Amino acid sequence: MNGKRLLTLAAVVAFAAMAVFIMRGKDEHDAYVISGENDVSEEEWRNYFKAMDLEAPGLDRYFADSIANPQTVRFFKALQGKFKDLDFESHLEAIHAYLRRMMSAERAEEMFALYKKFATYEKSLMADSKRFRRPVSGGEALSYLRDIQRYRREFFGAETADRLFGLEVRTQEYLLRKGLVLNENSYGAEKEKKLAALRRDIWGEKGSPLDEGRQPLERYNEKLQIFARDLGELSDEERAERVRSFRSEFFSEDVVRRLEKVDAEIATDVAREQAYRTREREIKSDSGLSDDEKTRILESLQREIFGDDAESFKRREAIAEGSGR
């Protein structure tokens, strides 16, 4: 995954984090901004996160079927960066010349007309910055998506606007609504049912491209989040058994065993510290001991309980005391 893709995904995830706070009404918030069958091909999805080389041959392949597709806005942004140090008229002239050099004459003129319209659209957003400011709270997130896509449809026409911005809007809305479901205090089976319906409603039967190819650890952590309430109501033994079954869905048996070994080590560390804290309170509260005696006894106790880790424990304690714990 290259840096540009990481930045793009990071921006999407940051936007999605607002979902926890979205207000739940029974008005238009329940209606999807864009839903139904997803007409984005696998190649378009892969290309969406790739760096676009403006000088690479075969640029036409991105626009073989239509000049308005999920790559178009990314292409326009790249052009803006390439010709950013020019006044507006010179900027347009440079882009027009570039398009005629890289594309067929007919396609270049179509693309240039759409670029000029896109530039006018961006200027209109800046002119009405109060209306189209980025949401600062989760409660504004879906309203912002709905409002700006409505405006885009008025400006470009519904079909062109949904082709240009549809993938971006689907992605943001899906993550926003998915975040809502994941953070519900409901049982896992109910969450999984809602998530399946959400994928179908926003992406259609092809499913969500966002959920394809994710790493096992990411999918496992999401599973824990989905079943958080279920796990919280189980006994320690039942919870360990359930977690093991979840791990087996995503990891090999060898990895599951290693994770269980880490769990055991963590449990041992927690038990050791709890035992130390109990004795520490008793020693510190013993009025029959001087401060020096308490210090010596505690140091001996640290060596007894933590063994080779006693020195690192002392350093952590010193740091915690220095930070005002």
Number of alpha carbons in the 13 Å side-chain half-sphere of residue 82: 18
Quick one: pLDDT at residue 53? 83
Quick one: pLDDT at residue 13? 46
Tell me, rounded to whole angstroms, the distance of Cα 173 from its chain centroid: 12
Classify the C-alpha dihedral 173-32-148-90 as positive or negative. Answer: positive
pLDDT in tens, 79-120: 999 999 899 999 999 999 999 999 989 999 999 999 999 999
b/e sequence 103-123, b meaning 16+ C-beta within 10 Å: beeebbebbbebbeebbeeee
Q: Which two tokens stand for residue 7?
A: 């930045």
Instruction: Kindly report which listed range (76-85, 130-139, 221-230, 263-272) carries the lowest average pLDDT score.
Output: 130-139
Choose among 230, 232, 228, 176: nearest CA to 202: 176
Q: Decide if pLDDT at 22 tops 70.
A: no
Classify the C-alpha dihedral 28-29-31-33 as positive or negative. Answer: positive
Quick one: pLDDT at residue 138? 60
Confidence of residue 45 (pLDDT cuts 50, 70, 90): confident
Confidence of residue 323 (pLDDT cuts 50, 70, 90): low
The more confident residue out of 82 and 37 is 82
Burial of 18 from C-beta contacts in 10 A (0-12 / 13-18 / 19+): buried
The more confident residue out of 239 and 31 is 239
Quick one: pLDDT at residue 273? 92
Helices 158-182, 138-156: inter-axial angle, 10-degree rounding: 170
Quick one: pLDDT at residue 6? 43
Mean per-residue pLDDT of the chain: 86
Burial of 290 from C-beta contacts in 10 A (0-12 / 13-18 / 19+): exposed
Quick one: pLDDT at residue 139? 62
Per-domain boundaries in the chain: 3-185, 255-322
Quick one: pLDDT at residue 275? 94
Residues 2 and 46 sit within 8 Å (Cβ to Cβ): no
290 in helix, strand or coil? coil
Confidence of residue 7 (pLDDT cuts 50, 70, 90): very low
pLDDT in tens, 134-188: 777 666 788 889 999 999 999 999 999 999 999 999 999 999 899 989 999 999 9
Q: Residues 42-51: what's their mean pLDDT?
A: 74
Quick one: pLDDT at residue 130? 76
Quick one: pLDDT at residue 96? 96
